[in-house]
């Protein structure tokens, strides 16, 4: 009965100082997908590489202090791969995959376009390259869970101020339509939303103003899974009792 956690750390060193690894020890998780390491290999001390006996595997960005993903697994993976075959975004450390048996668990960090038009265009290029990769994953015939910060709120229920964000990165019509294609055309499943259809289930809050205190947030962290394992998911929670980052960990239990 695997427990899989997705957590954007907004800096692994920062999250460590805020108690992330102490919390992790108590979670009995089988896989933990982390994003936004903001670290290079030389920065990774033993406590980051193999905390509490986990096997850690990482994809570092070439640019210092930027991006980066990783997967921690309780069992040693049969195979690990980094990058999804797109030179531009593989250089940014956005994809780590671990295979254990017939299950593939992937940590992904999709680009944000909020810093300006140039990064939004990069985000669109990522979307164009990533969709056929997702199709290829399905063709492998494995059970797959893709965890991470997708930087897109899919529907109006997925962010507090949807009316004021329809022209902003993360809630653009093109971005939302792309997510719809993933679910409706490719047949992958938004596991969190399948289990919990309530509003205000946010995973990210701006550091500006009182966004966190007032729960003015966005749901941009997902478990996107193949239908077989998605159908076994039975419990979901967003952990907010402690703050390790501007994102909250998304925890889902499966009965695979």
Residue (of 107, 32, 21) closest to 68 by Cα position: 107
Residue (of 81, 187, 85, 92) closest to 133 by Cα position: 85
**Which helix (H) or strand (E) element contains residue 5?**
strand 3-8
CA distance 144 to 115: 31
Q: Which two tokens stand for residue 216?
A: 């003015």
158 tagged catalytic: no
| Helix ranges restricted to H, the chain | 12-17, 20-25, 46-49, 87-90, 117-139, 173-184, 191-195, 227-230
Residue in 30, 149, 190, 253 annotated catalytic? 149
Q: What is the DSSP letter of 247?
A: B
User: Residues 6 or more apart from 190 whose CB is under 8 A from it?
Assistant: 154, 183, 222, 223, 224
Side-chain-side CA neighbours of 55 within 13 Å: the count stands at 14
Catalytic residue numbers read 149
């Amino acid at each position: 009965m695997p427990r899989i956690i997705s957590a954007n750390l907004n800096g692994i060193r920062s999250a460590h100082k805020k108690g992330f690894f102490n919390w992790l020890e108590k979670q009995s998780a089988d896989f933990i997908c982390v994003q936004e390491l903001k670290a290079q290999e030389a920065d990774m001390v033993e406590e980051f590489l193999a905390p509490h006996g986990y096997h850690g595997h990482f994809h570092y960005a070439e640019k210092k202090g930027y991006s980066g993903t990783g997967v921690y697994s309780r069992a040693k993976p049969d195979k690990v791969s980094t990058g999804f075959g797109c030179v531009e975004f593989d250089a940014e450390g956005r994809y780590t995959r671990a295979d254990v048996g017939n299950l593939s668990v992937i940590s992904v960090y999709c680009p944000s376009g909020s810093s300006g038009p140039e990064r939004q265009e990069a985000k669109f290029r990522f979307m164009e390259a990533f969709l056929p990769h997702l199709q290829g994953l399905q063709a492998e015939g494995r059970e797959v869970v893709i965890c991470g910060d997708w930087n897109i709120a899919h529907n109006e229920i997925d962010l507090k101020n949807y009316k004021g964000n329809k022209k902003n990165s993360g809630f653009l019509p093109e971005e939302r339509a792309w997510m719809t294609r993933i679910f409706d055309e490719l047949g992958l499943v938004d596991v969190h939303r399948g289990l919990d259809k309530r509003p205000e289930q946010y995973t990210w809050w701006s550091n500006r103003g009182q966004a966190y205190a007032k729960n003015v947030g966005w749901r941009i962290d997902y478990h996107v899974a193949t239908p077989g394992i998605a159908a076994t998911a039975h419990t979901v929670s967003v952990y907010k009792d402690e703050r390790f980052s501007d994102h909250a960990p998304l925890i889902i239990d499966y009965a695979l």
